[in-house]
Chains A and B, each alone.
Chain A
Amino acid sequence: MPRNDSLEMGELTDTSFYILLSLVDAKHGYLIMKSIESMTDNRLSIGPASMYTSIKKLLSAGLIQLLKDEDEKRKTYVATEKGIQLLRKDVERRREMVRHAEEILKNRGV
């Protein structure tokens, strides 16, 4: 396994973070990319190869799951309980990062 695998360290990359976030509500795979683009005002657009790799990874880590649904052609995913928990933890981690930065920058009067 890759040495810098952040998922195994319990951290989400920006890509996984946004995929998981957009899967709090179930979505067709191809709609995830679109929803992330509109969520971030096109600042983040996930390439198709990165998307496919990330989905497979989140699936095998049990952070998202495939929904059995009527439309058998297109796959629908949703975040699992474990996925939501990790998302919460990661939001906390990111909040910390922002807090640290704000404190230091404020002290310098920037």
Chain B
Amino acid sequence: MEETKFIFSGGLAFSEERDMMKLSAYAKKGWALESFAPLGYKLRRSDPQNIIYSIDYQKGADDEYFEFFEAAEWKHVCSIGNEIHVFSAPEGTKPIYSDKSTEIEKYEREKKQMGKSALAFLIFTVLFILLKVMSLTGWLPRAAGIISLILGIVSLIILVFSGLPYLAYQYRLSQLRKL
């Protein structure tokens, strides 16, 4: 019998709550979250449990950070790069964010980071397209044009994968600020 299982993430910027609910549903069926995996989560067979999951972003989290969660009965499950952290707790435990202004900061931090990388790759994309155009007009050798085109496409892909989350966080923040 399989001992581990992989499930896809919907992309944290877009479906954080849905992802956490999905993990909780799997835990009920006896599949507990073990760790992050590329593009998703790795689950391990366990006893069925009624638990909820929460995710937080905190760069360089220290002992105190995890102590606060422990004191509130949130168990640390896994992290990526000491920045994205998942916690679990019995159903009915009070949420990890108790007020809006600190929750807004959580997404502000992420939005800022995504925005920085989106801006950088927007500049790269434009730059490489310019170089490609210059090679077409004969200002640059053909080989330089081909390399620019490839680098331009790579930058564009990274731009999309940071630009879309940026917009998603922007939308989420505007919803949070509404009231």
Q: Which of A48-81 contact B (CB under 8 A)?
A: 48-54, 57, 73-75
A52 partner residues in chain B, CB cutoff 8 A: 58, 64-65, 68
Interface presence of A87 (CB below 8 A): no
B67 partner residues in chain A, CB cutoff 8 A: 29-30, 74
Count of B residues near A, CB < 8 Å?
A: 26
Contact B177 A47 (CB under 8 A): no
Pick from A15, A46, A51, A74: contact of B101, CB below 8 A: A15
Q: Which of B30-84 contact A (CB under 8 A)?
A: 54, 56, 58, 63-65, 67-69, 71-72, 74
Contact A53 B105 (CB under 8 A): yes
B94 partner residues in chain A, CB cutoff 8 A: 45, 47
The verdict on A33 contacting B106 (CB below 8 Å), with A4-B177, A50-B99 known, is no
Which of A4, A47, A53 is packed against the most chain B CB atoms within 10 Å?
A: A47
A-B contact number at CB 8 A:
76
Interface size on A, as a range, is 20 to 34
Q: Which of B89-148 contact A (CB under 8 A)?
A: 94-99, 101-106, 108
Docked CA distance A57–B104 (Å): 13
Residue-wise, chain A 1-35 has the 8 Å CB interface mask toward B (1 for contact) of 01111100000011100000000000001100110
Docked CA distance A30–B68 (Å): 6
A37 CB to nearest chain B CB (Å): 10
In the complex, what residue of chain B is closest to A16 when comparing beta carbons? B101
Which of B71, B72, B101 is packed against the most chain A CB atoms within 10 Å?
A: B101
B residues with a Cβ closer than 8 A to A are 54, 56, 58, 63-65, 67-69, 71-72, 74, 94-99, 101-106, 108, 177
Q: A15-B99, A33-B72, A48-B72 are in contact. List 11 more A-B contacts (CB 8 A).
A: A2-B105, A29-B64, A29-B68, A34-B71, A48-B68, A49-B54, A50-B97, A50-B102, A51-B68, A53-B102, A57-B105
Q: Which 5 pairs of residues, A with B, have the shortest CB-CB distance?
A: A48-B68, A47-B98, A49-B96, A50-B102, A53-B102
